[in-house]
Amino acid sequence: MAFVDDSKGYITTAGEARVEDYLALLKPRVMSLVVFTAIIGLLLAPGGVNPVIGVIAILCIAVGAGGSGALNMWYDADIDRVMSRTANRPIPSGRVTPGEALAVGLICSGFSVAILGLATNWVAAALLAFTIFFYAVIYTMWLKRSTPQNIVIGGAAGAFPPMIGWAAVTGDITLPSIILFLIIFLWTPPHFWALALYKQGDYQAAGIPMLPNVAGEAATKNQILLYSVILVASSLVPLFIHMSGWLYGAIAVLTGASFLYLAVRLHRAPTQIGMKKLARSLFTYSLSYLFVIFLALLTDHVGQLLGWVQ
């Protein structure tokens, strides 16, 4: 695999990793959702921010999320190897060593927090540091392998980015930013339990106590429905605290009704095959739902600024 004698013109290779493998460590798909919600939080915050500082803040949040993703992959390499969805990740496939992943995770985390603090304020930096700690330590190292409520509590890590974006502008934590947090926090359980329902064999093999494996499908479907109702209700809060207007309200009602419809259909699914298909539909729809809800918040906000929406 490696030739060491440089005097003969041979080269030394430390590993098989390519640039793409290091990028994959940062979980770019998760990062894209983090970046999107952080941008919305940053743009919704009152006061505004210098565009260069705004771009740097988003970059820091993205790299921080990537760093926590790399730390997650470093710690979870053993279970990633077992699950079909994750078996081809850089560490289980042997392209990146665990030590390299740990180094990438720590460097990205450290730099992102420090630069965010220098560029914006230390409230935002502290929130980012806490998010990374929460995802890498509280969720990955503790909750994920010990309780079926893992993604309920661990979902907080994914819910912080809009709050960080908001804090990067205002330097504080206020009710509207907490509501942005709440929407993602309540969205996480139905999203991941829908995934767990049609991938439960994978989680079972890896020994992760996801709700369908521990409490059964019926209990999981009940919980999905319950959280879907609370999620849709919480998505209407921006309307009642005058954070958003009728445009957001209309979109939240329509998309929320579709979410509830899919959750009810899943709840009533008569057969195993039908259930898996509906679980997959809900999982896919939930991704679009979050995207549309946050985009609606921004559209409504811009509309209000321009005087187009009441």
User: Could you give the count of Cα atoms lying within 13 Å of 199 in the half-sphere of its Cβ?
Assistant: 20
CB of 55 to other proteins, least distance (A): 9
CB of 296 to other proteins, least distance (A): 31
Instruction: Indicate the residue among 42 and 278 with the shorter CB distance to other proteins.
Output: 42
Instruction: Indicate the residue among 2 and 273 with the shorter CB distance to other proteins.
Output: 2
CB of 7 to other proteins, least distance (A): 10
Tokens of 276: 């898996």
Q: State how far the Cα of 258 lies from the Cα of 253, in Å rounded to an integer.
A: 9
CB of 10 to other proteins, least distance (A): 6
SS3 assignment for the chain: CCCCCHHHCCCCCCCCCCHHHHHHHCCHHHHHHHHHHHHHHHHHCCCCCCHHHHHHHHHHHHHHHHHHHHHHHHHCHHHHCCCCCCCCCCCCCCCCCHHHHHHHHHHHHHHHHHHHHHHCCHHHHHHHHHHHHHHHHHHHHHHHHHCCCHHHHHHHHHHCHHHHHHHHHHCCCCHHHHHHHHHHHHHHHHHHHHHHHHCHHHHHHHCCCCHHHHHCHHHHHHHHHHHHHHHHHHHCHHHHCCCCCHHHHHHHHHHHHHHHHHHHHHHCCCCHHHHHHHHHHHHHHHHHHHHHHHHHHHHHHHHHHHCCCC
CB of 136 to other proteins, least distance (A): 21
Residues forming the site for other proteins (CB under 8 A): 2-3, 8-11, 13, 16-19, 22, 50, 52-53, 56, 59, 115, 118-119
Instruction: Indicate the residue among 115 and 252 with the shorter CB distance to other proteins.
Output: 115
CB of 52 to other proteins, least distance (A): 5
Instruction: Indicate the residue among 8 and 242 with the shorter CB distance to other proteins.
Output: 8
CB of 35 to other proteins, least distance (A): 16
What is the Cα 223 distance to its own chain's centre?
Answer: 20
Instruction: Indicate the residue among 115 and 206 with the shorter CB distance to other proteins.
Output: 115
Instruction: Indicate the residue among 69 and 190 with the shorter CB distance to other proteins.
Output: 69
Instruction: Indicate the residue among 20 and 78 with the shorter CB distance to other proteins.
Output: 20
CB of 34 to other proteins, least distance (A): 19
Instruction: Indicate the residue among 38 and 143 with the shorter CB distance to other proteins.
Output: 38
